[in-house]
């Protein structure tokens, strides 16, 4: 048991810190710090800078595919430094979700065709799993892919597709057979978003923003070489990558930064003539979240430590997802509470770039309630927290 | 003892609910909220015709004399219908303030007009630094000859945009944070030197930031005693807090009913998700919260009607703490149990959640009222 970084790890930490200081664009940092909506260009710009730095955009990729080939501890340090520097979260769909699938299940041609573009953010991916009637019960999905010569013909609809309107490609789960257990008829298919028959319609979320979409697929022709793995193997492929998705959702460094933000805000706001942070109640509430986060961080490190010795993440990823999102949600609530009445004004433009007017009340207050409301999503997506608890009940407790 | 509503109240309840059912579906509400001033003048006149604007006021001014109990009934319906008309701002805050603190002349001049739907009021009491402390008044009123000169800013003033007159709290003497030295003035919305920045709120209502730049008013603009308005303000904020707890009960009832309905129809894993016991228990928590809230809201209404004192303070704060709890037990859960659709703008549930969320901060949040309760 040793919490301290080795000299090499410390050197690495400094290298990352210096690199971020010099290369992370200030305008993007400002946006992240203020909670302003990011545009595709912001993501691409930063991801390209990271990619050019020895593949830093893909901490989880082995060196043979262009990743930095870091140890779990190095990845952790990198995450930590990115969180502290208010870095934007790189988009997971290609880098964190699809890439490991292609490395493990894809053909050589698929890897050659897609991995480079993912690394360089030249091709954008979205995740087409959920359907209107297949949410938590993903295996009940109905989007059909029928083989017709060297093509599949795909019909159905996908929903909640994050960044679907930005994406060039979508990795999907489709039904290729109706027989047998419902999980067995599912295949993993890559669909070009520009194919005839693909339409994308926006879904506006509670904060008034457009991030998610419904996608309609009508007689979409998809070449058979876009099938990943074997026909009918889609479910086990998807399951293996959901673990990655969930671990990614925990976001400890980001929550740490949010607590710093909360404390800054509470120091500026006044209550009974004194800084709000000196109010015993409010202070205690911040401490309670900090304690949760402290525990989560240590648990996260214990999981990492186990992973470095070669184990795969199991039910731990569910734990990290549930606790990680609970902490995030608690912080969004406190940020909103900190500004009292000023959480009420809704100025949609203040959440987007280029808003120049004077704030109403504390600067940035108007984004806090929309963020609180929007962040309810974190306990729903990536497999709802109820589903994660079901998984833990089965895997850990044996029910 | 009888804790049932009187026949009169039941009739009132029926007529408001019927109006909302027929004229106030969710799409209509959304339309009203998004356009122009944020509500319908036609509805406002209907409210006047139905007698809703006179519910809490004494009969001699044209009211019904139903007091706080009447308000509870109307406000619960307002919560159910997510009503955007300025009832809280004009009738509850403005009207009750005039009824309690105004002199005979003011009451006779203002209340019948308000009850008839021809006059709207707003109450400006929040300041940039004040948070929930009603004694933190930096806004000043200075006597200059036979006039008062008002200077300062007020924040998040509900429906100031469409109000004809604004009642504003000001410091006429004493140091900040002292109860004495606070006075109330009633000012024409279009008075010289009064400017406003109007905006929508997260829950689809309208509010404004007001700036008073040496606004001159006559002596008769004073509402209540010079330096002695604090207890009037405290009373009105308590009455309004009890009223929004009733609105909260309406919101919570809708969220519980809509969530239960959804759990019965939404299928996953080849069955209604309501079959999962964990989700049933969450709905039971909503139900228990709703009933406990209703109890505390009635208690608060009774204590507000009885007047000033520690019992009023305690019971209002108790109800408000419960309203704060409802944000997580009912609001957050309702969104969660709806899954993805629960965080979309399209679904009515999301808007009930927004209202419940904003109501926590209105008139002091859960922490504030817990503290106030413990100190009363
Ligand atoms: C903002 C956002 C972005 C998203 N992005 C994507 C994306 O990019 N790609 C994609 O494919 N999907 C995406 N999703 C979809 C997400 O994965 C689903 O919303 C999620 O799986 C839940 O499904 P559902 O919304 O249909 O809820 P439902 O499955 O209908 O669940 C409703 C409620 O019932 C509960 N429940 C269901 N089954 C059980 C059970 N067995 N036991 C206990 N409780 C249960 C759930 O926890 C939830 O509270 C996104 C969702 C959101 C909100």
pLDDT beyond 90 at B215: yes
Q: On the CB side of B240, how many CA atoms lie within 13 Å of its CA? A: 25
Number of C-beta neighbours around residue A22 at 10 A = 7
**What pLDDT does residue A244 have?**
67
Percent over 70 (pLDDT), chain B:
100
Contact assignment for A346 to B339 by CB distance below 8 Å: no
A127 lines ligand 1 (CB under 6 A): yes
Among A340, A350, A370, A390, the residue to mutate for chain B (most B Cβ within 10 A): A340
**What pLDDT does residue A306 have?**
77
CA distance, residue A252 to nearest chain B CA (Å): 22
A390 lines ligand 1 (CB under 6 A): yes
A325 lines ligand 1 (CB under 6 A): no
**What pLDDT does residue B161 have?**
97
3-state SS of chain A is CCCCCCHHHHHHHHHHHHHHHHHCCHHHHHHHHHCCCCCHHHHHHHHHHHHHCCCCCCCCCCHHHCCCCCCHHHHHHHHHHHHHCCCCCCCHHHHHHHHHHHHHHCCHHHHHHHHHHHHCCCCCEEEECCECCECCCHHHCCCEEEEECCEEEEEEEECCCCCCCCCCEEEEEEECCCCCCHHHHEEEEEEECCCCCEEEEEEEECCCCEEEEEEEEEEEEEEHHHEECCCCCHHHHHHHHHHHHHHHHCCHHHHHHHHHHHHHHHHHCEECCEEHHHCHHHHHHHHHHHHHHHHHHHHHHHHHHHHHCCCCCCHHHHHHHHHHHHHHHHHHHHHHHHCHHHHCEECHHHHCCCCCCCCCCCCCHHHHHHHHHHHHHHHCCCCCHHHHHHHHHHHHHCC
> Which residues in chain B are closer than 8 Å to A329, comparing Cβ atoms?
332
Closest Cβ–Cβ partner in A340, A361, A374 for B343: A374
Q: Is residue B332 less than 8 Å (CB to CB) from chain A?
A: yes
**What pLDDT does residue B258 have?**
98
Contact assignment for B268 to A136 by CB distance below 8 Å: yes
**What pLDDT does residue A1 have?**
72
B278 lines ligand 1 (CB under 6 A): yes
| Exposure b/e, A115-129, CB count within 10 A at least 16 = b | beebbbbeebbbbbb
Run of H or E residues at B272: strand B271-272
To the nearest 10 degrees (0 to 180), the angle between helices A7-23 and A72-84 is: 40
Closest Cβ–Cβ partner in A140, A340, A389 for B361: A340
Name the phi and psi angles at B141, rounded to 5: -125, 120
What distance in angstroms lies between residue A212's CA and the mean position of ligand 1's atoms? 13
Taking the C-alpha atoms of residue A57 and residue A66, their distance in angstroms, rounded to an integer, is 10
Taking the C-alpha atoms of residue B102 and residue B79, their distance in angstroms, rounded to an integer, is 29
**What pLDDT does residue A241 have?**
75
Residue B278 Cα to chain centre, angstroms: 34
Q: Which of B351, B362, B20 is nearest to B157 (CA)?
A: B362
Contact assignment for B131 to A135 by CB distance below 8 Å: no
Identify which has the larger pLDDT, A364 or B152: B152
To the nearest 10 degrees (0 to 180), the angle between helices A252-268 and A280-308 is: 160
Beta bridge partners of B267: B272
CA distance, residue B85 to nearest chain A CA (Å): 17
Run of H or E residues at B185: strand B182-188
pLDDT beyond 70 at B325: yes
Q: What is the mean pLDDT of each run of 10 residues along chain A (399 residues)?
A: 88 98 96 92 97 95 94 89 94 93 96 97 97 96 96 98 97 92 93 98 97 98 97 91 71 94 97 96 97 94 74 80 96 98 95 90 94 97 95 93
Secondary structure letter of residue B126 according to DSSP: B
**What pLDDT does residue A309 have?**
64
Chain B residue closest to A360 (CA)?
A: B209
**What pLDDT does residue B229 have?**
98
State the pLDDT confidence band at B251, using cuts at 50, 70 and 90.
very high
**What pLDDT does residue A313 have?**
67
Secondary structure letter of residue B136 according to DSSP: -
Taking the C-alpha atoms of residue B212 and residue B152, their distance in angstroms, rounded to an integer, is 5
Predicted confidence (pLDDT) per residue in B16-54, tens digit: 999 999 999 999 999 999 988 999 999 999 999 999 999
**What pLDDT does residue A308 have?**
66
Taking the C-alpha atoms of residue A305 and residue B30, their distance in angstroms, rounded to an integer, is 52
Helix (H, G, I), strand (E, B) or coil at B57: coil
Predicted confidence (pLDDT) per residue in B94-107, tens digit: 999 999 999 999 99
B340 lines ligand 1 (CB under 6 A): yes
**What pLDDT does residue A301 have?**
84
Q: Is residue B280 less than 8 Å (CB to CB) from chain A?
A: no
B337 lines ligand 1 (CB under 6 A): yes
Contact assignment for B155 to A160 by CB distance below 8 Å: no
Could you identify the atom of ligand 1 that is nearest to the CA of residue A163? 8
Classify burial at A362, counting beta carbons within 10 Å of its beta carbon; exposed 0-12, middle 13-18, buried 19 or more.
middle
Complex ipTM? 0.97
**Structure-token pair, residue A200:** 């994308």
**What pLDDT does residue A310 have?**
60
Q: Is residue B211 less than 8 Å (CB to CB) from chain A?
A: no
B263 lines ligand 1 (CB under 6 A): no
**Structure-token pair, residue B279:** 């989700």
**What pLDDT does residue A245 have?**
66
């Amino acid at each position: 048991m040793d919490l301290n970084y080795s000299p090499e790890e410390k050197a690495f930490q400094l290298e990352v810190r210096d690199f971020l200081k010099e290369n992370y664009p200030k305008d993007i940092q400002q946006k992240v710090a203020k909670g302003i909506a990011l545009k595709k260009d912001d993501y691409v710009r930063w991801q390209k800078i990271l990619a050019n730095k020895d593949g830093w955009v893909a901490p989880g990729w082995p060196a043979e595919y262009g990743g930095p080939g870091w140890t779990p501890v190095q990845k952790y340090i990198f995450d930590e430094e990115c969180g502290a520097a208010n870095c934007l979260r790189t988009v997971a769909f290609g880098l964190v979700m699809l890439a490991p699938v292609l490395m493990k299940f894809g053909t050589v041609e698929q890897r050659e065709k897609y991995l480079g573009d993912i690394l360089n953010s030249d091709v954008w991916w979205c995740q087409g799993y959920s359907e209107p009637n297949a949410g938590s019960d993903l295996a009940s999905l109905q989007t059909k892919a029928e083989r017709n010569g060297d093509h599949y013909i795909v019909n159905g609809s996908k929903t909640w597709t994050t960044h679907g309107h930005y994406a060039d490609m979508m990795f999907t789960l489709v039904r290729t057979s109706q027989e047998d257990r419902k999980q067995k008829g599912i295949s993993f298919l890559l669909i070009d978003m520009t194919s005839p028959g693909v339409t994308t319609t926006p879904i506006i979320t509670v904060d008034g923003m457009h991030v998610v979409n419904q996608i309609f697929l009508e007689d979409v022709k998809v070449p058979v070489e876009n099938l990943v793995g074997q026909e009918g193997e889609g479910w086990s492929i998807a399951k293996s990558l959901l673990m990655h998705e969930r671990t990614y959702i925990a976001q400890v460094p980001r929550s740490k930064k949010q607590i710093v933000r909360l404390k800054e805000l509470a120091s500026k706001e006044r209550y009974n003539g004194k800084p709000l942070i000196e109010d015993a109640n409010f202070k205690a509430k911040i401490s309670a979240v900090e304690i949760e986060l402290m525990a989560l961080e240590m648990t996260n490190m214990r999981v990492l430590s186990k992973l470095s010795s070669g184990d795969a993440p199991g039910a731990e990823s569910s734990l990290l997802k549930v606790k990680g999102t609970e902490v995030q949600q608690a912080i969004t609530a406190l940020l909103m509470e900190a500004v009292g009445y000023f959480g009420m004004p809704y100025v949609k433009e203040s959440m987007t770039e280029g808003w120049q007017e004077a704030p109403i009340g504390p600067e940035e207050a108007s984004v806090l309630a929309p963020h609180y409301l929007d962040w309810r999503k974190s306990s729903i997506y990536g497999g709802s927290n109820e589903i994660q608890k079901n998984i833990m009940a089965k895997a850990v407790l044996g029910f | 003892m009888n804790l049932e509503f009187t026949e009169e109240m039941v009739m009132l309840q029926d007529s408001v609910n019927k109006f909302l059912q027929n004229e106030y579906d969710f799409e209509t509400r959304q339309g009203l909220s998004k356009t122009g001033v944020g509500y319908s003048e036609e509805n406002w006149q209907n409210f006047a015709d139905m007698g809703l604007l006179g519910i809490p006021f004494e009969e001699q001014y044209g009211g019904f004399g139903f007091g706080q109990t009447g308000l509870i009934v109307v406000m619960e319906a307002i919560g159910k219908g997510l009503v955007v008309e300025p009832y809280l701002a004009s009738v509850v805050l403005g009207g009750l303030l005039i009824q309690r603190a105004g002199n005979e002349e003011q009451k006779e001049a203002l209340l019948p007009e308000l009850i008839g739907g021809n006059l709207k009021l707003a109450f400006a009491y929040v300041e940039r630094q004040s948070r929930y402390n009603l004694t933190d008044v930096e806004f000043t009123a200075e006597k200059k000859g036979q006039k008062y000169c008002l200077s300062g800013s007020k924040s998040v003033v509900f429906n100031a945009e469409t109000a004809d007159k604004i009642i504003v709290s000001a410091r006429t003497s004493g140091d900040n944070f002292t109860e004495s030295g606070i006075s109330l003035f009633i000012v024409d919305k279009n008075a010289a030197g009064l400017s406003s920045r109007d905006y929508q709120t997260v829950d689809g209502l309208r509010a404004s930031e007001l700036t008073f730049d040496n606004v001159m008013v006559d002596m008769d603009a004073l509402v209540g005693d010079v330096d002695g308005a604090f207890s009037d303000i405290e009373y009105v904020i308590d009455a309004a807090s009890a009223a929004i707890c009733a609105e909260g009960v309406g919101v919570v009832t809708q969220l519980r009913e809509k969530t239960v309905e959804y759990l019965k129809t939404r299928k996953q894993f080849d069955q209604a998700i309501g079959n999962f016991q964990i989700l049933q228990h969450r709905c039971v928590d909503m139900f228990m919260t709703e009933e406990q809230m209703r109890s505390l809201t009635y208690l608060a209404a009774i204590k507000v009607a009885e007047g000033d004192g520690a019992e009023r303070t305690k019971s209002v704060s108790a109800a408000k703490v419960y309203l704060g709890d409802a944000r997580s037990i009912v609001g957050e859960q309702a969104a969660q149990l709806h899954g993805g659709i629960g965080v979309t703008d399209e679904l009515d549930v999301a808007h009930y959640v927004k209202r419940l969320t904003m109501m926590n901060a209105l008139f002091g949040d859960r922490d504030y009222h817990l503290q106030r309760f413990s100190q009363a």
